[in-house]
């Protein structure tokens, strides 16, 4: 099994996570030109599950003691730990469908900073409580700075809506993002508690899972719960008319491939983040990964031009958000040194 043996490499993995988690939304934006987000989401979860299986049978099965192998580790996992990882997948999925809905009506540069920014704050606190690792002063100072960055983005979007956008979309998009953030804060801790973080031992603790096994069970929870959550989203959409599952089969291969690609991108970020958590600690690993907010906001502003007609004051606030996010993330990284 491949694992991270030093903190610098763990931080590098978390930066890759940040890029992946902040970029998968581009596939939804691309598909959204002709494809409803509810239909896109089926392919997205297939991509997440597919990556968890591929990583389990490759990186999760290479070298080391047999007990760390993907299949062997799954077989000895305690039912309680499997249940926690499944619950993590269910909670994440509920949050992520809300995030996808918020992106569809408010854009990446709003949904991510509000939703994922809030998840970062609450998630770092929760993950530190269950596994205290790192300097708490620097860690929570970084979180506090990121809170200010989120407020800058919220005010920037408020100024933008003064340029003609419907206030109903503003209220609905922010409300969905807030609920998403609250749910998203807890999924990682549910999964992390199932893992044996000490990869240097000859064998894992009885009943504990490796990051690769935990990721697969988590992904199974995401996939299975989609049949409930996305069915509701299709029949009670935040915008547009209700649709049925039969619409999914009308899509062509390229449009399905875009959604699967989005899931693979997110899966890569999640997989290496769980591996990095063994060295960095869940709070720091999760916190850095959720710096995806900064990446997604950059995509939304620079590529998708979501603030193209906003007043100059909104652009200044967005610039302040980027600077504050970088400072906050720097403090989180320093907390683990």
- From the number of C-beta atoms within 10 Å of its C-beta (0-12, 13-18, 19+), residue 252 rates as exposed
Does 2 fall in a domain? no
- 333 φ/ψ sector (left φ>0, alpha ψ -120 to 50, else beta): alpha
Alpha helical stretches, state H, 107-164: 108-111, 117-130, 136-161
Contact 291, 11 (CB under 8 A): no
pLDDT value, residue 56? 96
Confidence of residue 240 (pLDDT cuts 50, 70, 90): confident
Q: What is the mean pLDDT of the chain?
A: 89
Question: How many whole angstroms separate alpha carbon 117 and alpha carbon 293?
Answer: 6
Question: How many whole angstroms separate alpha carbon 128 and alpha carbon 130?
Answer: 6
pLDDT value, residue 102? 86
Higher pLDDT, 332 or 53: 53
Does 13 fall in a domain? yes
pLDDT value, residue 48? 97
pLDDT value, residue 222? 97
pLDDT value, residue 72? 92
Q: Is the pLDDT of residue 235 over 70?
A: yes
Does 1 fall in a domain? no
Question: How many whole angstroms separate alpha carbon 167 and alpha carbon 149?
Answer: 22
Stretch among 47-51, 155-159, 164-168, 275-279 having the lowest mean pLDDT: 164-168
Q: What's the CA angle centered on 262, arms 259 and 265, to 5 degrees?
A: 155
Does 12 fall in a domain? yes
Does 94 fall in a domain? yes
Confidence of residue 334 (pLDDT cuts 50, 70, 90): very high
Question: How large is the average pLDDT for residues 183-206?
Answer: 85
pLDDT value, residue 80? 97
First to last CA, the chain: 25
- 301's tokens: 């502003």
Question: How many whole angstroms separate alpha carbon 123 and alpha carbon 319?
Answer: 25
Confidence of residue 100 (pLDDT cuts 50, 70, 90): confident
- 254's tokens: 């390229």
Q: Is the pLDDT of residue 163 over 60?
A: no
Q: Is the pLDDT of residue 64 over 60?
A: yes
pLDDT value, residue 265? 97
- 264's tokens: 């693979």
Specify the pTM.
0.88
β-sheet bridge partners, residue 209: 195
Confidence of residue 275 (pLDDT cuts 50, 70, 90): very high
pLDDT value, residue 335? 93
Confidence of residue 167 (pLDDT cuts 50, 70, 90): low
SS (H, E, C) 160-214: HHCCCCCHHHHHHHHHHHHHHHHHHHHHHHHHHCCECCCCCCCCCCCCCECHHHH
Q: Is the pLDDT of residue 168 over 70?
A: no
The per-residue pLDDT for range 127-156, each reduced to its tens digit, is 899 888 889 999 999 989 988 887 887 788
Question: How many whole angstroms separate alpha carbon 290 and alpha carbon 113?
Answer: 10
Question: How many whole angstroms separate alpha carbon 294 and alpha carbon 321?
Answer: 8
Does 223 fall in a domain? yes
The boundaries of the domain holding residue 246 are 7-335
Higher pLDDT, 45 or 304: 45
Question: How large is the average pLDDT for residues 306-322?
Answer: 89
Does 191 fall in a domain? yes
Does 182 fall in a domain? yes
Maximal C-alpha separation, the chain: 62
Stretch among 33-47, 191-205, 280-294 having the lowest mean pLDDT: 191-205
Tokens 């043996």 -> residue: 5
- 252's tokens: 């062509």
pLDDT value, residue 109? 67
What are the residues whose beta carbons fall under 8 Å from the beta carbon of 278, sequence distance 6 or more? Answer: 3, 4, 10, 195, 197, 198, 199, 211
Confidence of residue 29 (pLDDT cuts 50, 70, 90): confident
If you write DSSP's letter for every residue of 252-286 in order, what string do you get?
-HHHHHHHHHHHHHHHHHHHHHHHHHHHH-HHHHH
In our burial notation (b when 16+ CB lie closer than 10 A, e otherwise), range 272-295 reads bbbbbbbbbbbbbbbbbbbbbbbb
- What is the number of structural domains in the chain? 1
pLDDT value, residue 194? 95
Question: How large is the average pLDDT for residues 246-264?
Answer: 96
What are the residues whose beta carbons fall under 8 Å from the beta carbon of 75, sequence distance 6 or more? Answer: none
Q: What percent of the chain has pLDDT over 90?
A: 55
Stretch among 46-60, 182-196, 303-317 having the lowest mean pLDDT: 303-317
């Amino acid at each position: 099994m491949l694992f991270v043996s030093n903190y610098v490499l763990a931080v590098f993995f978390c930066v890759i996570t940040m890029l992946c988690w902040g970029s998968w939304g581009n596939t939804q934006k691309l598909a959204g030109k002709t494809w409803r987000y509810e239909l896109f989401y089926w392919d997205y979860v297939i991509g997440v599950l597919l990556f968890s299986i591929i990583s389990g049978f490759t990186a999760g099965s290479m070298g080391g003691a047999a007990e760390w192998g993907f299949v062997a580790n799954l077989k000895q996992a305690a039912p309680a730990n499997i249940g926690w990882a499944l619950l993590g997948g269910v909670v994440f999925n509920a949050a992520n469908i809300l995030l996808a809905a918020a992106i569809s009506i408010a854009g990446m540069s709003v949904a991510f900073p509000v939703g994922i920014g809030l998840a970062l704050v609450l998630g770092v606190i929760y993950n530190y409580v269950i596994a205290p690792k790192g300097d708490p002063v620097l860690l929570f100072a970084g979180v506090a700075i990121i809170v200010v960055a989120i407020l800058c983005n919220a005010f920037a979007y408020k100024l933008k809506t003064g340029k003609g956008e419907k206030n109903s979309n503003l209220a609905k998009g922010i409300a969905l993002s807030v609920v998403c953030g609250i749910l998203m804060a807890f999924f990682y801790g549910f999964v992390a508690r199932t893992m044996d973080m000490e990869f240097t031992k000859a064998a894992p603790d009885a009943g504990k899972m490796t990051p690769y096994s935990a990721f697969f069970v988590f992904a199974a929870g995401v996939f299975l719960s989609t049949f409930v959550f996305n069915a509701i989203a299709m029949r009670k959409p935040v915008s547009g008319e209700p649709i049925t599952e039969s619409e999914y089969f009308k899509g062509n291969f390229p449009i399905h491939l875009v959604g699967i690609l989005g899931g693979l991108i997110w899966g890569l970020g999640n997989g290496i983040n769980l591996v990095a958590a063994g060295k960095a600690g869940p709070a720091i690993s999760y916190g850095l990964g959720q710096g995806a907010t900064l990446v997604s906001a950059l995509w939304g502003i620079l590529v998708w031009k979501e603030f193209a007609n906003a007043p100059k004051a909104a652009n200044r606030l967005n610039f302040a958000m980027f600077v504050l996010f970088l400072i906050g993330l720097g403090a989180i990284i320093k907390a683990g040194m």
